[in-house]
């Protein structure tokens, strides 16, 4: 059984923070859109697009390249 390295733990912690932050922003934008009476389908599509685009799938690769410099 392999234990996670300190870097893996930090990446996992940062990923959780990034996820919660992005979901908070998406939720806030959704609420603002509802208050401005923007059509619901537009809000849903925008919210899902922002949520998907905000989470970088290449985060581990980016961190590896940054650390190698």
d(CA 25, CA 18): 11
Per-residue confidence (pLDDT) for residue 65, from 0 to 100: 80
* DSSP string over the chain: -PPPPHHHHHHHHHHHHHHHHHHHHHHHHHHHHHHTT--HHHHHHHHHHHHHHHS-TTHHHHHHHHHH-
Each of the 69 residues of the chain gets a pLDDT tens digit; together they read 688 888 888 888 888 888 888 889 989 999 999 999 999 999 999 988 888 887 777 777 777 788 787
Per-residue confidence (pLDDT) for residue 19, from 0 to 100: 83
d(CA 52, CA 69): 29
Q: 40-54 and 6-35 are packed helices; what angle lies between their axes, rounded to 10 degrees?
A: 160
């Amino acid at each position: 059984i392999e234990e996670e390295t300190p870097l893996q733990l930090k990446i996992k912690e940062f990923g959780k923070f990034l996820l919660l932050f992005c979901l908070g922003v998406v939720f806030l934008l959704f609420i603002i859109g509802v208050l401005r009476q923007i059509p619901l389908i537009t809000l849903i599509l925008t919210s899902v697009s922002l949520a998907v685009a905000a989470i970088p799938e290449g985060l581990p690769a980016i961190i590896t390249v940054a650390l190698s410099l």
